């Protein structure tokens, strides 16, 4: 009730929720109380949460931030939703996001932009901007986001919270509306690494309904949080401290690294030589996969449908023209182009080769160090409307998207302020090193 009241009182200013499901939440809270009274409650029973509006929820709208799905109620729950419900957590609603998770500022939503609670002139980051803003403003203690190219870590950084992108395959993608299937991954956004660890304990694990989910055991992510860090080997990728990085963000990040040194870690510079190619490779691969994934929105089976179509082609054309926003259309055009005959080898296949090299950069670095540290984003939160051309927006993703191309986990941790706005320290580990990342993040907090 406390959190629902805060949403009611404050979310007009932030616009962080698309749907608030107060009545369902109160019923779920009652069920959680009952489970507690019966003595078989999960540790998180009764904890309020919010879900990015990309996770399918039975009987509640799942819009994915798009007019295309403004009328869509999924006939089933995503695996992560099912798991959170089984643990008797209480969903308060669905959070705002960039349309189909495409964006870095949450300005691409059909439901209007989200505001950053630290400064209402600033964006919260994207695409999980609603989840980040809601947690930062104390409208909910924790939320789920998704990260295809930085969409958990960058908004976590902009809003001063902790956000973890797990290893690709660690968390089931079943029931999560697909953007770029080989990159998409769900993860927790919360006020601390310890809260993220508790959520990971619920959502991680193999799922037979997602063929890319990893069939390996799930550790207790809370177990290692207090392990001492003496002897930890930290690498600072020199490419993450170059041109384009705001000097005050750099200062805050280097200060955080010094804290780790004082905890007994050693620091050395490393190189990820193909970093420069991450943005071009990602902006070929992600739109290619998106153009294919989004072909299902045709006005026939679900979602928006244009009025009085003349024939089938008119139905497809007008439905998609009306239902999709500008950025989504841009990605579909890029993706269709790079997958078309004559361009496929030059763009798509080339980008896949570059992806391989980027992954190898990380594997080589992890031969020498345990974790990598750097900024989550080159600047702090920028003002709403400040980035008008798509390329300057894509450049926001410079430190986050290589991680998705490589499939490794990454976490953004609050590391002070620059220009009065939060800075995120990004910590990266090798595949399935989530427990270590949470431990390292927790020791800083
Ligand atoms: N900003 C990136 C994009 O627009 C990443 C988005 C994401 O991680 N979902 O594609």
Residues with CB under 6 A from ligand 1: 101-104, 127, 147-151, 179, 286, 397
Choosing from 126, 183, 187, 403 the residue with most ligand 1 atoms within 8 A of its CB, the one to mutate for a pocket test is 126
Q: How far is the CA of 37 from the centre of ligand 1 (A)?
A: 43
Total number of domains constituting the chain: 1
Q: What is the pLDDT of residue 43?
A: 93
Phi, psi of 215 (to 5 degrees): -90, 70
Q: CA-to-CA distance for 218 and 200, rounded, in angstroms? A: 9
Please pick, among 52, 83, 115, 165, the residue that the annotation labels catalytic.
52
Q: Per the domain annotation, does 399 fall within a domain?
A: no
Instruction: Let me know if 353 is a catalytic residue.
Output: no
For 21, what's the count of Cα atoms within 13 Å in the CB-facing half-sphere?
22
Q: How far is the CA of 228 from the centre of ligand 1 (A)?
A: 34
CB 412 within 8 A of CB 423: no
Q: What is the pLDDT of residue 356?
A: 98
Q: What is the pLDDT of residue 308?
A: 97
Residue from 441, 421, 417, 414 nearest 429 by CA: 441
Q: Per the domain annotation, does 191 fall within a domain?
A: yes
Q: How far is the CA of 133 from the centre of ligand 1 (A)?
A: 17
Q: What is the pLDDT of residue 445?
A: 84
CB 423 within 8 A of CB 253: yes
Q: CA-to-CA distance for 168 and 405, rounded, in angstroms? A: 9
Q: Per the domain annotation, does 345 fall within a domain?
A: no
Note down the domain range covering 34. Answer: 2-203
Q: Per the domain annotation, does 256 fall within a domain?
A: no
ipTM beyond 0.95?
A: yes
Query: And the tokens for 369?
Result: 């160090």
Task: Give mean pLDDT in consecutive 10-residue pieces for the chain, a chain of 445 residues.
Answer: 97 98 96 93 96 97 98 98 98 98 98 98 98 98 98 98 98 98 98 98 98 97 97 98 95 98 98 97 98 97 96 98 98 97 94 98 98 98 95 93 98 98 98 98 94
- Residue identifier of the C-alpha nearest atom 10 of ligand 1: 102
CB 15 within 8 A of CB 114: yes
Please pick, among 16, 66, 105, 151, the residue that the annotation labels catalytic.
151
Instruction: Let me know if 105 is a catalytic residue.
Output: no
CA angle 212, 327, 338 (to 5 degrees): 60
Q: CA-to-CA distance for 62 and 301, rounded, in angstroms? A: 15
Instruction: Let me know if 151 is a catalytic residue.
Output: yes
Q: CA-to-CA distance for 25 and 3, rounded, in angstroms? A: 11
Q: Per the domain annotation, does 37 fall within a domain?
A: yes
Sheet holding 421-428, edge to edge: 17-20, 90-95, 48-52, 142-146, 186-190, 162-165, 410-418, 421-428, 371-375, 233-237, 266-270
Q: Per the domain annotation, does 252 fall within a domain?
A: no
Q: Per the domain annotation, does 297 fall within a domain?
A: no
Phi, psi of 417 (to 5 degrees): -135, 155
The burial of 345, by beta-carbon neighbours within 10 Å (0-12 exposed, 13-18 middle, 19 or more buried), is given as: exposed
CATH of the domain at 178: 3.90.1300.10
CB 16 within 8 A of CB 95: yes
Peptide bond before 127: cis, by omega within 30 degrees of 0? yes
Q: What is the pLDDT of residue 431?
A: 98
DSSP β-ladder status, 371-375 and 266-270 = unpaired
Q: Per the domain annotation, does 51 fall within a domain?
A: yes
């Amino acid at each position: 009730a406390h959190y629902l009241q805060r949403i009611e009182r404050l979310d007009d200013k932030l616009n962080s929720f698309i749907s608030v499901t107060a009545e369902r939440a109160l019923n779920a809270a009652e069920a959680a109380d009952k489970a507690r009274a019966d003595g078989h409650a999960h540790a998180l029973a009764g904890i309020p949460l919010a879900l990015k509006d990309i996770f399918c929820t039975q009987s509640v709208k799942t819009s994915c931030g798009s007019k295309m799905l403004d009328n869509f109620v999924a006939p089933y729950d995503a695996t992560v939703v099912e798991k959170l419900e089984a643990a008797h957590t209480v969903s308060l609603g669905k959070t705002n996001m960039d349309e189909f998770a495409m964006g870095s500022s949450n300005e691409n939503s059909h439901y209007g932009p989200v505001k950053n609670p630290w400064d209402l002139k600033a964006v919260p980051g994207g695409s999980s901007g609603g989840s980040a803003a809601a947690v930062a403003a104390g409208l909910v203690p924790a939320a789920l986001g998704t990260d295809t190219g930085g969409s958990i870590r960058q908004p976590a950084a902009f809003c001063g919270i902790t956000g973890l992108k797990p290893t690709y395959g660690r968390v089931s993608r079943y029931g999560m509306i697909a953007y770029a299937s080989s990159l998409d991954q769900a993860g927790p956004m919360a006020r601390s690494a310890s809260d993220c660890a508790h959520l990971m304990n619920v959502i991680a694990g193999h799922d037979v309904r997602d063929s890319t989910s990893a069939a390996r055991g799930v550790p207790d992510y809370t177990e290692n949080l207090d392990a001492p860090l003496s002897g930890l080997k930290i690498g600072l990728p020199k490419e993450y401290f170059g041109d384009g990085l705001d000097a005050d963000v750099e200062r805050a990040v280097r200060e955080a690294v010094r804290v780790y040194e004082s905890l007994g870690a050693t620091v050395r510079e490393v190189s990820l030589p193909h970093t420069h190619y991450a943005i071009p490779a990602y902006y070929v691969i992600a739109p290619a996969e998106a153009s294919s994934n989004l072909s299902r929105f045709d006005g026939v089976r679900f979602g928006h449908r244009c009025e009085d179509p003349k024939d089938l082609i008119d139905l497809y054309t007008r439905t998609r023209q009306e239902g999709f926003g500008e950025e989504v259309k841009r990605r579909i055009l890029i993706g269709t182009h790079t997958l078309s005959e004559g361009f496929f080898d030059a763009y798509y296949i080339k980008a896949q080769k570059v992806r391989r090299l980027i992954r190898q950069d990380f594997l080589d670095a992890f031969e020498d160090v345990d974790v990598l540290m750097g900024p989550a984003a080159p600047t702090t939160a920028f003002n709403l409307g400040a980035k008008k051309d798509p390329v300057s927006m894509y450049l926001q993703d410079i430190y986050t998207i290589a991680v998705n191309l490589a499939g490794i986990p990454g976490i953004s941790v609050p590391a002070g302020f620059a220009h009065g706005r939060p800075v995120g320290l990004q910590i990266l580990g090798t595949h399935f090193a989530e427990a270590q990342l949470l431990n390292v993040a927790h020791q800083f907090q």
